[in-house]
């Protein structure tokens, strides 16, 4: 699963085999314009499982993306603490 970021501070979470595949799927599904793409991040299966189904394969507003990112960051930090403990 991939997290794609766009210039207007929106984001898309989409399942794909690679970053280029994720970008192509997002464009095909009209979830984001290729020319507006900024960056993409692979979400490992553990983090991907924490994403609510209604947040996948749709355009997330900046606020929605921020909230989801905060949620994933808390999960990531708790996993890191468990590894170092």
35: number of Cβ within 10 Å: 8
For 43, phi then psi, to 5°, come to: -105, 120
Domain boundaries, the chain: 2-84
pLDDT above 90: percentage of residues in the chain? 72
Residues 35-40: what's their mean pLDDT? 94
Indicate whether 75 pLDDT > 70.
Answer: yes
Predicted confidence band of residue 76 (pLDDT cuts 50, 70, 90) = confident
Indicate whether 50 pLDDT > 70.
Answer: yes
Residues 16-30: what's their mean pLDDT? 96
């Amino acid at each position: 699963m991939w997290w794609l970021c766009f210039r207007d501070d929106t984001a898309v979470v989409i399942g794909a085999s690679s970053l280029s595949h994720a970008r192509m799927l997002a464009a095909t599904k009209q979830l984001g314009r290729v020319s507006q793409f900024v960056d993409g991040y692979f979400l490992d299966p553990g983090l991907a499982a924490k994403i609510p189904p209604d947040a996948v394969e749709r355009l997330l507003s900046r606020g929605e993306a921020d909230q989801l990112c905060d949620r994933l960051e808390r999960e990531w930090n708790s996993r890191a603490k468990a590894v170092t403990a």
